[in-house]
Amino acid sequence: MKKIRWGIIGCGAVTEVKSGPGFQKAKNSSLVAVMRRNGKLAQDYAQRHNVPRWYDDSKKLIDDPEINAVYIATPPSSHKDLTLEVADAGKPVYVEKPMANSYNECQEMIKYCSEKNIPLFAAYYRRALPRFIKIKSLVDNGNIGSVRFVNVAFHQKPYPNDLKGKNHWRINPEIAVGGYFFDLASHMLDIIQYLVGKIVFATGIASNQMELYEADDMVSGIFKSGSGIHGTGVWNFNSYGNLDRTEIVGDRGIITFSTFGESPIVVEGLKGIQKIKIKNPSHIQQPLIQTIVNELLGTGKCPSSGKSAAQTNWVMEKILGIEE
């Protein structure tokens, strides 16, 4: 391949700014076609984003001979089946997060793609953002000494539609098993593993305190990395206010940052306090998309694989107490 020609299955909200334009702006990459079950919406997206073709049938997009890689941007419940279909067509797969609705589904996807020699990537795009690459360099270079523990605090007010009792896929356990925890904490737990290493032990408790919807809205967890770093986390989706804070604590300092915002990275240590401001790109998935394109063309390596994404599913299931 000299150029990656993408097709998108599920051109919903996440593809409008976060990902879709990234396929068009990445080097040696183009967006050939999009698909949505509602043909009018697919056509509208294609026209607004100058995409040559649109479909209302995923199979037709997958079989399009001009497409040589597929981005699956549907809700988690369809990720496994669509991944297997794309792999059957012999095309690389880039799947949204969480990778699937269960760790077992992730393993099926990995095994199937491996058997067919199909590359599999997942949309944990923070691994390629300058903000988190900087944090990783601070950790790896010993700016806070040896890392001892990680502390995560994520508090969020209920969304207005939640208060109105409007059900949508993110809080429907049949479509997204873990509700907002799977949707948002997945990013946080994945980036922690990128920064301090694979999590090999996790447990926790979850409950539905406010009962606005069927999924749990309160999750507490503890975890440990393979190198012995401890971690704690509280994710509350019925709080009085919003808080997004992760602390990486070492024996000579501490790094504090937000996962979803652009507040300064704060480094405290023997040399005082340093604040580092790094903005995210306009199309936040573009840097990761570029790494995927580079890997497929043999000029680089993507930091977010099916295997790394599956481990995040494993951690979330252990914290939620899901037994398969």
Residue 222 · residue 203 · CB < 8 Å: yes
| Cα–Cα distance, 269 to 144 (Å, whole number) | 7
- Give residue 270's pLDDT: 84
For 24, the token pair is: 């068009």
Against a cut of 0.75, is the pTM above it? Answer: yes
pLDDT in tens, 258-299: 999 999 999 999 889 999 999 999 999 999 999 999 999 999
Check the CA dihedral 178-179-180-186 and report its sign.
positive
DSSP 59: H
Q: Detail the DSSP E strand segments found in the chain.
A: 4-9, 29-35, 53-55, 69-72, 93-95, 120-122, 147-155, 199-207, 218-225, 230-236, 243-250, 253-257, 265-269, 272-276
Q: Detail the DSSP E strand segments found in 161-217.
A: 199-207
For 92, the token pair is: 């690389």
Torsion of CA 90, 95, 99, 102, to 10 degrees: -50
Cα Rg of the chain (Å, integer):
20
Tell me which amino acid residue 72 is: I
Torsion of CA 16, 22, 118, 177, to 10 degrees: -40
- The CB-based long-range contact list for 252-256 (8 Å cut-off, 24+ gap) reads 252/142, 252/144, 252/145, 252/146, 253/143, 253/144, 253/145, 254/144, 255/135, 255/138, 255/139, 255/143, 255/144
- Give residue 167's pLDDT: 78
| Selection from 111, 64, 73 nearest residue 91 by Cα | 64
Q: Right CATH number for 4-125+285-304 from 3.40.50.740, 3.40.50.300, 3.40.228.10, 3.40.50.720? A: 3.40.50.720
pLDDT in tens, 191-202: 999 999 999 999
pLDDT in tens, 144-187: 999 999 999 999 999 998 988 887 889 999 999 999 999 999 99
Ranges in the chain annotated CATH 3.30.360.10: 130-280
Ranges in the chain annotated CATH 3.40.50.720: 4-125+285-304
- Give residue 324's pLDDT: 65
Mean pLDDT of the residues in the chain: 97
Q: How confident is the model at residue 1 (pLDDT cuts 50, 70, 90)?
A: confident
With a cut of 90, say whether residue 69 has pLDDT above it: yes
Q: Which residue has the tokens 């507490």?
A: 220
Print the SS3 string covering 82-140. Answer: HHHHHHHCCCCEEECCCCCCCHHHHHHHHHHHHHCCCCEEECCHHHHCHHHHHHHHHHH
Phi, psi of 231 (to 5 degrees): -150, 150
In percent, the amount of the chain with pLDDT more than 70 equals 100
Q: Which fold has domain 130-280?
A: Dihydrodipicolinate Reductase; domain 2 (3.30.360)
With a cut of 70, say whether residue 216 has pLDDT above it: yes
For 314, the token pair is: 């494993």
Across residues 215-219, what is the average pLDDT?
Answer: 96
Q: Detail the DSSP E strand segments found in 175-216.
A: 199-207
How far CA 261 is from CA of 161, 220, 265, in Å, comes to 22, 22, 10
